[in-house]
Structure 1
Amino acid sequence: MKLKRVAVTVILVVMGTTTVLSQECLSDSLRINCYLWEGATQELCEAKGCTWCPSSMDELAPSCYLPPNYGYNIDGPISEIPEGGYRINLKRSPASNISYVGADSEEISTFFYFDSDERLRIKITDNTDRFEVPLEIKPPANPGGENPQYRIEFTNNPVFSFKVIRVSSGAAVFDTSLGGLTFANQFIQIVNKVPSTNGYGIGENEQLSYRHDFSKWQVFPIYTKDDAPLGNKNVYGAHPTYTMVEPDGSTHTILFLNSNAQEFLLTPAPSYTYRTTGGLLDIYIFMGPTPEEAVGQYHQAVGPQPIPAYWSLGFNLCRWNYNSIGNMNATIERTREAGIPQDVQFGDLDIMFDWLTFTYDSNATYNNFSGLPEFIRELKTRGIHFIQSVNAQISSEERRLPWYEPLRLGHEMDVWVKRPNGTPSTGTLWPGGEHEGWDKPAGPGFGGPVHFTDFSRPSAIEWWRIICAQYRDVLDWDGLWLDMNEPASWVSGDVVGCADNLINHPPYTPGITNNISDLTICPDHVQDYGILYNTHSLYGWSQARGSFEAIKPLFGTNRTFQLSRSTFPGSGQWAAHWLGDNFSTWGNLASSLIGIMGFNLFGTPQSGVDICGFYGRPSEELCTRWLQVGAFYPYSRNHNVRSTSEFDQDPASWSEASRNSTREALMIRYTILPYMYNLFYIHRVRGGTVMRALWAEFPGDQVALGVDTQFLIGPAFLVSPVLTEGATEVEAYFPEGSRWFAYRNGAEIEEAGSVILTAPFGVINLHVRGGYILPTQEPALNTMLSRQNAFGLIVALDGSYAARGEMYWDDGVTHAEVQDEGVYFRSTLLYIDGNLTQTVVNDAYQGISGLEMDSIRLFGAPSIISTILLNGEEHTDFEIHLPGNELRVHNLNIPVNSNYMITFLP
């Protein structure tokens, strides 16, 4: 029977007995805060029934903390549940006379659902009707199973707690034995004592190290907000999930599926204290055990990103304040003349009439964009796609009627977020700001009144489809840039303010910036999903989903593209992401690696940042180094802000030396795009990251666990960038037990460990990992051209002189549903015993016919190659390149979609 698969240990206290509790001061690292507000004193603490003992460890360590008998006790027998698992009813401990905010639930239930051998769900709730996140969690690939990776221990001494233990190692991946379980109407808390200090994730915020620092107490708040990323404060997205590498290298990922204002407190125990202000506890544990398996299981549950349009993986150009078609085209032309590839051009607010979304300034009222539709059509003949910025906030000024169709039709179709009295919520944002001039700062009083689209309403999705179709009839855009969708406003709450109630002013607010109505909609305003108190952080997620559903029919069988600033688990199914309004600083360059690797964990692998920074003016050195590393972001876009001191930072605006550096880096990107594209295919079918840290491949390497100044594209392409001003060398780490070869010449790294690499102004260090085969393609100025070119392979041999890889190829534009029907090409590649073979697995994509696999670069052969046989026939067009003894083979002219064998003889 399914229930018997999981070993369960129950340790119960005989009912009616008394547990003697020590009155000695508890170690700072093990304390759970009992007084969450500032100004705790012994008098206030003890008046709540808490324990007082001055802390000595950290200023955030509490002096007022919970006694060990605080919590819940098991109430009645443990019962089996039909889905497979257990239900445990709990009753608040008689000794728990402490209440954080009031309205504690006296009775709650804990459900353990054994979803699969790799996935466990834990749900804790009371008997009231509580908000649950409307995200569909996909069933596991192999439900049930007979060999679970976990077992569960319960105890009731002195209060209920449980542990989820990895069977193979005995590590407790979830351990609530520190206590602190709280379930109140507007305050829920659970504390997880973790098995190691190698934790990663939780967002969205700017983290200064990828690995969490458990040496001190610190808070990661989560609540979507339009705010520039500076430190631990909450910004655009909400991702209550982390991945942890355990002491033996096994790895798990945990999701807390909740959308209320919330926070994670890190403590030296080590532990994560999770607090949220509503909903319930709905916890998913993905057991891995490898890092990519754990993260992949999470991605498959929340929904992986579809394979992106191939062109969207090319280089993207954008800026706010081109101000005219002439300036925009001048940027595109100098990029082309510099030999720098470009696939995408963006339009920002400046193309709009008076900053009204779904318009363009056709009469040059403020900026000269007359002729924009013809210009976009002409760009497409050059292979450049066009993406336009749109906002969900629609100008609500009656003077816009009847000509402003988004407002007129929005009223007619009833698409707005509502106040409690049923009238539309009204904030302020961009519309009208253009005619006021830029000298007036953005904020309250700037711009004009707006209503907010409610994407949880079916009528709103149909309305969005209609106005997007009308807009595309005018401007033939290829994708949408969903901005300001936290949702942002420049007035807090509403132009008429927010009501004074416990929804708008809850008894506890996590450590977010200001309060939960700050520069956004009042929490008691209403969507179809429910009140914004529960749904606020789902707004960008719902827009990405609703917009994708609405515009998908406009493109027939072709893929479109969406770029969303606000995200939530599952957003990657509908949109890529950039990390918002960053700064032109070396610190933001370094933190970009951490942020993008984090979003690869979160399930949006096509992520990037504004290369060279959005705010501020970068030096040429900073921008050049940023363009070097940005060439290898999964999503690569250069963008900057409108400014009173106008300047350009696009790659062709710098010196010849800088342009040469950017050209080389981006041409390498375009060369390895087939390898990167295959990684997106792998993500689509089984989850996993595109950009990852070294520990994702080497979880047992203690040094690799802390490296966040390098990153891998997939398992095999290592980027070691310059991240500090004035540096002409970098310290790169190469894990033991692997071979690494310089991308440019095949030279092998001679010793594992930390290595100093030279990095002059125009150079970024790139290495290929032994044991892997990377498909490549001759680059060009855009993917429309490069996709017509010959393919190649980079074959890097491991210590056994073997390598393997795979290749996926399709038309680059057709929907995933067609891909699922098998309309693609896929092959496996293997090098062993001197023989390189391709085995075709699927050959249903006709468009690959006529393309050839033309070249090979072989790294790390055991001896100098003197003879090459292609399917048994000698091939003589090859040479050895020093200093790395790299073998380069040319003019193979093999049909890409054929089985072949190439033999390399000494």
Structure 2
Amino acid sequence: MKAMSWALAVALVFAVAGPADAGGWRHLGDAGRVERRADGVVVHSGPARLQVSVHADGVFRVLLAPDGKADGDASWAVVQAAEPAKVTIDETRDAVRVRADGVVAIVHRSPLRVDFVDDAGRALLADDASLPMAWLPGEHGTRVRVWKSMPADEHYYGLGDKAGPLDRRGRAFAMWNSESYGWQGTTDPLYKSIPFFIGLRGGVAYGVFFDNVHRSSFDFGKESDGTLSFGAEDGPLDYYFIAGPQPAQVIERYTALTGRTPLPPLWTLGFQQSRYTYHPESKVREIAKQLRDHRIPSDAIYLDIDYQKGYAPFTVDRAQFPTFEKMIDDLRKDGLRTVLITDLHIKHDPDNDYAAFDSGMRNDAFIRNPDGSLYIGEVWPGDSVFPDFTLTRVRDWWGGLYRDFAAMGAAGYWNDMNEPSVFNVPGNTMSLDAVHRMDDGTTRDHRAIHNVYGMLNARATYEGLLKLQPTQRPFVLTRAAYAGAQRYAATWTGDNTASWFHLAQSTPNLLSLGLSGMAMSGDDIGGFIGSPPPDLLTRWFQLGAFNPVFRNHAATDTRPHEAWVDGPKHEALRRDAIELRYRLMPYLYTAAEENARTGMPIMRPVFLRWPDAEAFYGNDRDFLFGGDLFVAPVVDERLDAHPVSLPPGGWYAFGTSERYVATKTPVKLDPRPSGTPLYARAGAIVPMQALVQHTGETPKGPLELQVYLPDVGSPECRGSLYQDDGESFAYREGAFLRVSYACEVSASSMTLSAHVEHSGFAPWWKAVRVTMFGVSQRPASVRVDGAAVAGWKYDGAAKMLTLDVSDAIRDWKVEVTR
């Protein structure tokens, strides 16, 4: 056989292994051998190996191993096992097609690249043909990246709590959990790394989850207007394509893949009062008394680091808190839970019988340097050591540290500073060479663990509490997170400022967290840094009442942020906002259960329900609270009129028969300080309750149903109710109540029906009070289950009908004739 010419040899190398660009990147070349598997294909290209497989219905996995050996099976985020699916594989000269559940992955042979289309051939996501997937070996690993074509009319959402507009198009983002004190609109990265985004174009959505815990980045057309790209500094190019076509389906599939938020304790949906810091003990008791004296409904008080002795986690300063256990018990008797901060940095204190440090040393629980010495960093207690959460036995040890606090009656725990934050060092975090040990005996440096470290801290706390109190739902609040952290903790947006900017920014941040799986989220009401003027603080209470986590918090050097601090006028407005939330608690808890069951967030962008409503693709201010209430908060200091664009369909001003219909022209409202503009969907059935001062108090009277009548013939009239004991896991054994409601409107009658889908829990109510809005004329008759009802009331001016249904924990039907 004759020797090949030099030019031919080079050409063949480029065709198989791909060309190197000026920056040294090695791109995939043409496809070589194709292996068929039950779930997809493996395609070889020189030393590289590309796997395209079906993970579950509507979910494809793409995994590139540049050297053919990368192990992409271990994941901190993915909990859904690969599920058998009906997969069809077709090969042609140009491509291999992997088809499942109405989606086709087209694996082009030259150059090797992957496109996703639907059964109709509509393009969903396509690799850039001129920039195949690539890798770049370096000192600390091999960088990987993929480039995608970016349609001019496509919008992008997700990535967790990134600063700036909700739509990520035109910007680039880094994934590296970072202490971000006083972050602003261009600050990036922030505290969390959730490498998941949703693409939306013309009402059709898909999602991409890039499962790589190393420092990664996403570019949505900043570098090149028509190109979307993402990649990481090391680790595999391992991503999941998640089909819709509805955005809600994408979220449901993503949260099935990475896990869902457990049903939270009911009290965590109440108002929570916090400050850095309430001390000594007498101050905590004073705040509790003022909450009750001022009739501010509330469920929790947080204790920041000053309750500890020398800021050492898992200690109590007995000089400042002499009756700590009794204080917790007394607060609980008054309907207030105690939430304790428990930072992960353990004070390096070998000489003073510090139990957490001593037991950690006995258990070899702390991270070490490459030379085997303890990694020591400065944080609040001074020199500190850090648990090696990658080891199961260390997570078990950490969880056991909560034993004393659990016995004292603490109800929740706040894992702060867990990016991890380290003072006075470059990057404000742990040395990148610090060594983490794995359960299989291997090690990783901090570069490979940093982004998942905070989630592992929350996981250790959550799992430890489950072992200590197996019948109680834990509550953990974490600052840092990675994809999947929703399985263990709620979160908040970190150290914001007392500014109108941060009031407005809270909505896109929380919406993005919800889209990214972390629905139980909130921000520091009033701003952590600085002292908000009264009007700003009032507006923040009014918006915060519709956040999943409703916590007022402030830094130590700021003026008080409590509801009563600015006089009777502002106190009344703030109280009204909190009271409305408590009246809506049955509706809110039902939305929380839906989130736990399906992944659907509590706080939702409009396009999540109406994906064709392109006018809302860029709306960062307004949102849906649950599925049926539309919130249009006032977030501008100088506003002469408040323009509101309503979503599709009909709407009512909440609690009235004042009816609006969506138009292209925004409705102009007077931005009076009386409250946040709130609308109920025409066809909504909203469960409510009488006012209580905390969620442990039994509401008086019946369950209330507000029915906002739709147009004649509309099928969109429905609602639901979910209830259980609010604290245990008994619901998993069937101890819950689920009721569905529906109404129909014709030219001559209206009907409202209830269907008990599951009746394993006895609620506090027996009767239901129905209030129908939009009843334009006095009814001729009102019947329940065919029997005439006495005592119904009609208010003609308010267009409102009120009636009671007794013995209502059953199927029943109301018929109203005109």
- TM (norm. structure 2) is 0.90
* Residue equivalent to 1:664: 576
Gaps of 5+ in 2: 1-7, 89-99
Q: Is the 8 A contact 2:375 2:434 kept in 1?
A: no
Find 2:188's aligned residue among 223, 233, 238: 233
* Residue equivalent to 1:263: 217
Q: Is the 8 A contact 2:175 2:216 kept in 1?
A: yes
Identity %: 21
Separation of aligned partners in 2, 1:794 and 1:546: 42
1:483-534 deviation digits (Å, cap 9, x = unpaired)? 0011111143xxxxxxxxxxxxxxxxxxxxxx7x543233442232622111
Number of aligned residues: 774
* Residue equivalent to 1:690: 602
- For 1:454-465, what aligned pairs fall within 5 Å after superposition? 454-465=388-399
Separation of aligned partners in 1, 2:296 and 2:531: 22
Find 2:123's aligned residue among 163, 171, 181: 171
Find 2:135's aligned residue among 170, 179, 183: 183
- For 1:423-502, what aligned pairs fall within 5 Å after superposition? 423-431=373-381, 448-473=382-407, 475-492=408-425
Q: Specify the code of the residue in structure 2 equivalent to 1:128.
A: K
1:109-162 deviation digits (Å, cap 9, x = unpaired)? 1111123341111111133345743333314788447862311223344x3222
Q: CA deviation at 1:212?
A: 2.1
Q: Specify the code of the residue in structure 2 equivalent to 1:752.
A: T
Find 2:652's aligned residue among 729, 736, 741: 741
554 and 695 in structure 1: CA distance in 2 versus 1, 3 angstrom threshold = same
637 and 168 in structure 1: CA distance in 2 versus 1, 3 angstrom threshold = farther
Q: Is the 8 A contact 2:156 2:169 kept in 1?
A: no
Q: Is the 8 A contact 2:688 2:706 kept in 1?
A: yes
Separation of aligned partners in 2, 1:308 and 1:609: 18
Q: Is the 8 A contact 2:776 2:796 kept in 1?
A: no
Separation of aligned partners in 2, 1:619 and 1:196: 42
Which stretch of structure 1 is more off in the superposition, 705-714 or 173-182? 173-182
Q: Is the 8 A contact 1:351 1:361 kept in 2?
A: yes
* Residue equivalent to 1:525: 435
383 and 722 in structure 1: CA distance in 2 versus 1, 3 angstrom threshold = same
Q: CA deviation at 1:862?
A: 6.1
Find 1:796's aligned residue among 701, 704, 708: 708
330 and 467 in structure 1: CA distance in 2 versus 1, 3 angstrom threshold = same
- SS in structure 2 opposite 1:74? coil
* Residue equivalent to 1:79: 35
Q: CA deviation at 1:66?
A: 9.8
* Residue equivalent to 2:69: 128
Asked if residue 899 in structure 1 is aligned to residue 815 in structure 2, the reply is no
Q: Specify the code of the residue in structure 2 equivalent to 1:263.
A: S
Q: CA deviation at 1:405?
A: 0.4
Find 1:244's aligned residue among 199, 206, 214: 199
480 and 858 in structure 1: CA distance in 2 versus 1, 3 angstrom threshold = same
- For 1:557-706, what aligned pairs fall within 5 Å after superposition? 557-643=471-557, 646-706=558-618
Asked if residue 116 in structure 1 is aligned to residue 56 in structure 2, the reply is yes
Find 2:43's aligned residue among 53, 70, 88: 88
Q: CA deviation at 1:778?
A: 1.5
Gaps of 5+ in 1: 1-14, 22-33, 35-47, 51-64, 92-106, 432-447, 493-514
Q: CA deviation at 1:49?
A: 5.9
Separation of aligned partners in 2, 1:711 and 1:178: 39
Find 2:173's aligned residue among 217, 220, 230: 220
Find 1:555's aligned residue among 465, 469, 474: 469
Find 1:351's aligned residue among 289, 293, 307: 307
Q: Specify the code of the residue in structure 1 equivalent to 2:601.
A: T
Separation of aligned partners in 1, 2:595 and 2:517: 9
- SS in structure 1 opposite 2:617? helix
Separation of aligned partners in 1, 2:355 and 2:701: 45
Q: CA deviation at 1:296?
A: 1.2
Q: Specify the code of the residue in structure 1 equivalent to 2:631.
A: V
313 and 168 in structure 1: CA distance in 2 versus 1, 3 angstrom threshold = farther
- SS in structure 2 opposite 1:627? helix
* Residue equivalent to 2:112: 160
1:528-575 deviation digits (Å, cap 9, x = unpaired)? 262211111100111111111111122231112000001111111110
Q: CA deviation at 1:482?
A: 0.5
Separation of aligned partners in 1, 2:642 and 2:393: 55
* Residue equivalent to 1:381: 333
Q: Specify the code of the residue in structure 2 equivalent to 1:533.
A: R
Separation of aligned partners in 1, 2:743 and 2:10: 68
Q: Is the 8 A contact 1:197 1:213 kept in 2?
A: no
Q: Is the 8 A contact 2:522 2:547 kept in 1?
A: yes
Q: Specify the code of the residue in structure 1 equivalent to 2:213.
A: S
- TM (norm. structure 1) is 0.82
1:289-339 deviation digits (Å, cap 9, x = unpaired)? 211111111011100001100011000000012222222222222222222
1:838-887 deviation digits (Å, cap 9, x = unpaired)? 11111112x32x62243222233465434321222222434344665233
Asked if residue 710 in structure 1 is aligned to residue 622 in structure 2, the reply is yes
Separation of aligned partners in 2, 1:743 and 1:627: 18
Q: Is the 8 A contact 2:175 2:195 kept in 1?
A: yes
571 and 49 in structure 1: CA distance in 2 versus 1, 3 angstrom threshold = closer
Q: Is the 8 A contact 2:175 2:215 kept in 1?
A: yes
Find 1:871's aligned residue among 764, 769, 785: 785
Q: Is the 8 A contact 1:286 1:298 kept in 2?
A: yes
Separation of aligned partners in 2, 1:212 and 1:619: 31
Alpha-carbon RMSD across the aligned residues, in angstroms, is 2.5
465 and 152 in structure 1: CA distance in 2 versus 1, 3 angstrom threshold = closer
Q: Specify the code of the residue in structure 2 equivalent to 1:235.
A: L
Separation of aligned partners in 2, 1:285 and 1:182: 18
772 and 338 in structure 1: CA distance in 2 versus 1, 3 angstrom threshold = same
* Residue equivalent to 2:5: none
522 and 115 in structure 1: CA distance in 2 versus 1, 3 angstrom threshold = closer
- SS in structure 2 opposite 1:838? strand
Asked if residue 372 in structure 1 is aligned to residue 324 in structure 2, the reply is yes
* Residue equivalent to 1:295: 251
Q: Is the 8 A contact 1:162 1:177 kept in 2?
A: no
Separation of aligned partners in 1, 2:277 and 2:56: 52
Q: CA deviation at 1:787?
A: 5.1
269 and 662 in structure 1: CA distance in 2 versus 1, 3 angstrom threshold = same
Which stretch of structure 1 is more off in the superposition, 769-778 or 835-844? 769-778
Separation of aligned partners in 2, 1:571 and 1:281: 21
* Residue equivalent to 1:59: none
Separation of aligned partners in 2, 1:554 and 1:273: 45
843 and 354 in structure 1: CA distance in 2 versus 1, 3 angstrom threshold = same
1:713-749 deviation digits (Å, cap 9, x = unpaired)? 122111111001033542111133x111111323111
Separation of aligned partners in 2, 1:142 and 1:383: 49
* Residue equivalent to 1:392: 344
